[in-house]
Structure 1
Amino acid sequence: MEYFLQTPQWGQFQRSLGRTVHEESGPGWHFLAIEEKNPAGKVLYAPYGPVAESLQAFDAALAALSALARKCGAAFVRIEPVSAGFETAEADSLLRSRGLRPAPTSQQPELSWIVDLDQDFKDVLAAMKPVNRNLYRNIHKKDVTFRSSQDPQDIRILLNFLHMTARRSGFKPQSDEYLTQVARSLMPAGAATLFIAERHGGPIAAALVYDSADTRTYAHAALDDAHRKLSAGIPLVVTLMADAKERGLKFVDLWGVAPEDQPDHKWAGFTAFKKSFGGRGIAYPGTWDLPVNRLRYGAYQVARKAREKLRTLRS
């Protein structure tokens, strides 16, 4: 799988936000790293990276990241090696032996849900819950149609539905400014597409996806509260899967899900929704820090723990 957060298109979007982005590569490895700020000062962050074909290539990428961090004055490198030449089960010992430490929290999901498209689409449908298949095949009887758009202006449809969801559930979406810039940067480049469900000529649901060379990532979605009983969000997801299959993509990444042993997890509801489309779970090593300036990183850790202790005492 090619993870979208390590593509040139994501780098282009980050630069459009005014951020400094570094992209480097070598034999069997590459990375995209973004300069960020936190209490330690400057941090070099490689979301779902670096990408490496082998453990030897990963070590070379890590050395390049460390050198880059020193050059740009970063206190540490933050990585998420989801495709780095080793299995997740052995990640802990491998990463610790290279001086990495688990980050305080994971910045990207540690568990995701993948639907494989490298099969006949009828088999993809067969793996879904019957209600999903039936809605996809019969939703047209309720005058619901679907279309896709790469017009940045259409992002307003999704924003309106996200505002409805936020008012109803207290959910806090990405800001309008952020998603508007996503649309301006990625949709004209063909790297992002908005899928829209419509009834009687008006939109009732929308979903924004990102595409890499082989993977479509389900990023943001919401629907019109007035049409919730139609469950248009389900056939909308199947539609974007069918479109991905037609485009020759091999995977649909439905993004983060809750652990199976945590039924009360805050993501439990939409985890059940995502799993209803068939597919499989995939676990990642999580977010790790590699100190470059050990004095500054140590001070950052001490200050962070002090803040956590203070919050605990207050609560």
Structure 2
Amino acid sequence: MNNLLSICDIKDDILEILDLAKRFKNGEMEEKPLKDKSLAMIFEKSSTRTRVSFDIGMYQLGGQSLFLSQSDLQMGRGEPIADTAKVLSRYVDGIMIRAVNHSDVEQLAKEADVPVISGLTNIEHPCQALADLQTIEEHLGDFKNLKLCYVGDGNNVCNSLLLASACVGMDMSVACPEGYEPNSEIIKIASELSKKTNCTITISPDIEKCVKDADAVYTDVWVSMGDEAEQEKRMNDLLKYQVNVDLMKLAKENAIFMHCLPAIRGQEVSSEIIDGPQSVIFDEAENRLHAQKAVLYYFLK
């Protein structure tokens, strides 16, 4: 069964999916290719972009989506994930899940008889990375001549971007303080992938070194959902990793600024940057829809 739990699941097909996303955005695909298909959408965490893009995406593709919060499912009352997977597989053509723990999504995929798509876990956010690549290609062109710099907490978004960058041959640096590095296994896999695509992966606390000559500078919130108890410590540790005017001056003159949203202006990014001419955050948000449609077509068609 084909699933999208990690960028690694599509490492050989990522360019094909990006091409599909571009064609959907340009209106070049057949109408209603998922007519009569259905998608169960399980949300253990709140969402704006993931929920709306999958919901509207299925509608535009001619299919039907069903929103299921934790309180809507017996999983919230202790029903085993395996039972939920087996039951839903009898009703729907695919399952999208936005979960707290990556291991739960892996178990769901193992037990399901239909494709499972991750809408975010504590380890990865593959659909966001696809939309990010689509946005970078639209604004900057060929990946192999580019450098992406991620600044701040090496979280799930950063993990997927590392893998995605390595797959398409784009250099990527991560500027983060000690203790905030991306997942060590992800770094290892991305480094191995980068050898095949002839690009470089750099993880360093040296923010100036990482941002220098970057074509795109990316950041995310310092306190993600589930990290609220560490808020004060995180704010102090990440203070000098704010993306602001001075930091962007280290990147290339035509560099773009990226953020997966939601953002907190004045924390991980200054208002001058996120609301300025270099920002492409709303193009990213829009591309969630097109990238999601490509994923749905690829796995459900």
Same topology, TM > 0.5: no
Name the structure, 1 or 2, with higher relative contact order (CA <8 Å, separation 6+).
1
Relative to total residues, which structure has the larger helix share, 1 or 2? 2
Work out which of the two has the higher radius of gyration on C-alpha atoms and give 1 or 2: 1
Relative to total residues, which structure has the larger strand share, 1 or 2? 1
Structure 1 length as normaliser, TM-score?
Answer: 0.29
